[in-house]
Amino acid sequence: MSVAPTPIAAMGLSCPLGLSAPAAYAAIRAGLSRFQELAYLDDRGEPLRGSRLAILEERTSERRRWFSLLCYALEDALRSQRATPNCQLFVVLPERPASMQSFVKSVEAALDGRLSLERTQFFVGGPCAAYAAIQSAREQLASRACQTAMVAAADSLIGARALLAWSKQQRLLTRANPDGFVPGEAAAALLLARRCEDPLGSICAVGFGMEPGLLSNDVPLRSQGVVEAARAALSACQLHMHDVDVRLSDATGESYGFKEQALAVLRTLRENKDSFPLWRSAASLGHTGVASSMCNLVIALCAARVGRFPGRRAIAYAADDDGKRAALILEPNAAVRMNRV
């Protein structure tokens, strides 16, 4: 389904660097991070490093952590909104809640009823699920099924269960494994609307693909899935890769992600560019799982609001461990100015 550009009315972000998008971006812009030793040990008995939200007890379960982060991000997105008429919620999580009805009621209670969640759709998976949720929200808005759509993603890799799973795969950054990632946690939200007088920006298109060459198999990586997704998104906007100014990637810091991004540029860029920066939320927040692809969008929108976005458009990438790939074309609105933090 072809969908016109979708305005972004509001955004929210909660992470170890701040409980609002302006605060978190100010910290990122200042080069800050909260990478610190955790109470969990690696196979050598040495403390793991991670980026965690300080106001939550370190032994708090992953589910409780991402639920709290989700509520903070939604509250941040709603802070500038007087009303959200006929709003549908699209929630992206690392796992499905045991009781959907109980989960929805808990979110409503945490937000003091500021967001009516009569219609809620859940997406479960990796970072690509967030862009699938955005595309579903755009289609609902285009079909006039709702006037506004809140898309929110939350995840936490800070917890014994998550860290053990990643450790078994030898994916965590340790002294014995320099080609790993720093676990983190975050939540991000975007309020999309059919109409908006002063949008923060627009979602222009979303594309999807599949990558056969994974970390878990011996198939050579050729960036087939990322290229397929990028071409689909660019084609929907009648653009070429040289029309894009910034790349947003959920690459965690492992060499696999950087190789995939480099191959994608080689296979899609047909005209020389003086600069084609690669922005990664993981550089400041660590690997934030399902929320990583959404965090990139919020950071780019924040940069545009303070005149720090170098150009007009960004292409944002998302990659799941099972091979799913997604690409999204974002046009931030530099005319909107951020309130002073």
- Residue 53 is predicted with a pLDDT of 96
Is 244 a member of any domain? yes
Query: 184 near 158, Cβ under 8 Å?
Result: yes
The reply to whether 188 and 205 lie within a common domain is no
- Is 128 a member of any domain? yes
pLDDT at residue 335, as a whole number: 55
Place of tokens 């999309």: 192
Q: Among 167, 193, 219, which residue terminates a domain? A: 193
Cα 54 to Cα 41, 58, 62, 107, 133: the distances in Å are: 19, 8, 14, 21, 29
> Residues 167, 84: one domain?
yes
Tell which of 193, 225, 246 closes a domain. 193
Query: For residue 338, is it within any domain?
Result: no
Do 306 and 166 fall into the same domain? Answer: no
Question: Are 319 and 250 contacting, i.e. CB atoms less than 8 angstroms apart?
Answer: yes
State whether 41 and 156 are in the same domain: yes
Say if 324 falls within a structural domain: yes
Q: Are residues 287 and 151 in the same domain?
A: no
In a domain, 326, yes or no: yes
Tell me the HSE value of 191 on the side-chain side, using a 13 A CA sphere.
28
Provide the residue range defining the domain that includes 307.
Answer: 201-332
10 within some domain: yes
Amino acid at 271: E
In order of 20, 33, 41, 55, 134, the CA distances from 184 in angstroms are 17, 11, 16, 14, 23
Q: How many Å apart are CA 128 and CA 290, to the nearest integer?
A: 8
Same domain, 186 and 211: no
The whole-angstrom distance between residue 256's C-alpha and the CA centroid of its chain comes to: 19
Token output for 24: 């978190």
DSSP per-residue string spanning 132-148 = HHHHHHHHHHHTTS-SE
| pTM score | 0.95
CA gap 166, 180 in Å, rounded: 10
CA distance 276 to 318: 18
Q: Residue 314's beta-bridge partner residues?
A: 246, 330
Question: Between vectors from CA 127 to CA 12 and to CA 2, what angle results, nearest 5°?
Answer: 85
SS3 37: strand
Do residues 276 and 314 both lie within one domain?
yes
User: Is 340 part of a structural domain of the chain?
Assistant: no
Number of domains in the chain: 2
CB 140 within 8 A of CB 146: yes
Bridge partners of 89, per DSSP, are: 120, 150
Is the same domain home to 26 and 141? yes
User: HEC states along 255-272?
Assistant: HHHHHHHHHHHHHHCCCC
138 and 240 housed in the same domain: no
Instruction: Looking at the structure, tell me whether residues 130 and 209 fall in a common domain.
Output: no
175 and 216, same domain (yes or no): no
Q: Is 156 in the same domain as 189? A: yes
Q: Residue 340: what pLDDT? A: 35
- For residue 23, the tally of other CB atoms under 10 A from its CB is 17
Nearest to 304 by CA among 251, 234, 250, 246: 246
Give the CATH number for residue 250: 3.40.47.10
Local mean pLDDT, 10-residue blocks, the chain (341 residues):
87 97 96 94 93 92 95 93 81 90 88 77 95 97 92 96 94 95 98 91 98 93 97 96 97 95 95 94 97 98 95 97 97 62 33
Evaluate whether 209 touches 141 at the Cβ level (below 8 Å): no
In a domain, 179, yes or no: yes
The CA distance from 20 to 170, in Å, is 33
Report which secondary-structure segment, H or E, holds 296.
helix 292-305
Rounded-to-integer distance, Cα 126 and Cα 94, Å: 7
